[in-house]
Amino acid sequence: MMNQPARVQSGVLRLCICCLGSLLSACAVQQPPISQKEAPQPTAIQKAAQQAINTQAPATPTLKRKIALGRISNETNYGRSLLRDNHGDPLGKQVTDLMSKALTESGAYLVFERPDITRLQSESFLTDTRLKLVGVDALVIGSLTEFGRKTVGQTGFASSSKKQIAFAKVDVRVVDVSTGQIFFATSGAGEASTETASTFGFGSQAAYDGTLNDAAIRQAVSEVVNRLSNELGSRPWQTFILKADNRQIFIGGGKSQGIRPGMVFSVQTQGEKLKSPQTGAEITLPGRQVAQVRVESSFGDNELNEGSIASVIAGSIAGYKPEQLIVRFEGVKE
3-state SS assignment for residue 266: strand
Q: Is residue 162 part of a domain?
A: no
Q: Is residue 35 part of a domain?
A: no
**107: Cα separation from own chain's centroid:** 10
217 and 327 belong to one structural domain: no
Give residue-wise pLDDT tens across range 170-222: 999 998 887 788 888 999 999 888 766 555 454 455 555 667 888 888 999 99
3-state SS assignment for residue 192: strand
Q: Is residue 271 part of a domain?
A: yes
227 and 177 belong to one structural domain: yes
Q: Is residue 285 part of a domain?
A: yes
**Which of 245, 259, 240 is closest to 323 using CA atoms?**
240
247 and 119 belong to one structural domain: no
Q: How many domains is the chain partitioned into structurally?
A: 2
Sequence-distant (≥ 6) Cβ neighbours of residue 74 within 8 angstroms: 80, 89, 91, 92, 95, 143, 144, 147
**Which of 217, 225, 155 is closest to 191 using CA atoms?**
217
Using the predicted structure, report yes or no on whether residue 250 has a pLDDT greater than 90: yes
273 and 175 belong to one structural domain: no
**Which of 213, 122, 232 is closest to 172 using CA atoms?**
232
Using the predicted structure, report yes or no on whether residue 37 has a pLDDT greater than 50: no
228 and 252 belong to one structural domain: no
227 and 284 belong to one structural domain: no
Give residue-wise pLDDT tens across range 120-157: 677 777 777 777 777 778 889 999 998 888 776 655 55
Give the Å distances, CA to CA, from 318 to 55, 244, 247, 252, 312: 37, 9, 9, 19, 11
Amino acid identity, position 179: T
Least confident range of 45-59, 105-119, 282-296, 299-313: 45-59
Q: Is residue 128 part of a domain?
A: yes
Pairwise pLDDT comparison (17 vs 224), residue with the higher score? 224
Give residue-wise pLDDT tens across range 21-31: 554 444 444 44
65 and 140 belong to one structural domain: yes
217 and 84 belong to one structural domain: yes
pLDDT value, residue 235: 73
pLDDT value, residue 30: 44
Q: Is residue 66 part of a domain?
A: yes
pLDDT value, residue 13: 55
Q: Is residue 16 part of a domain?
A: no
176 and 84 belong to one structural domain: yes
Assign residue 176 the CATH number of its domain: 3.40.50
Assign residue 297 the CATH number of its domain: 2.40.10
pLDDT value, residue 307: 92
Give the residue numbers spanning the domain of 77: 56-144+171-185+209-232
Pairwise pLDDT comparison (238 vs 36), residue with the higher score? 238
Q: How confident is the model at residue 59 (pLDDT cuts 50, 70, 90)?
A: low
225 and 243 belong to one structural domain: no
321 and 263 belong to one structural domain: yes
pLDDT value, residue 26: 45
Q: Is residue 274 part of a domain?
A: yes
pLDDT value, residue 46: 53
For residue 154, what are the β-bridge partners? 161
Q: Are strands 282-284 and 289-299 parallel, antiparallel or unpaired?
A: unpaired
276 and 216 belong to one structural domain: no
- What is the spatial distance between Cα 213 and Cα 104, in angstroms, rounded to a whole number? 22
Q: Is the pTM of this model over 0.75?
A: no
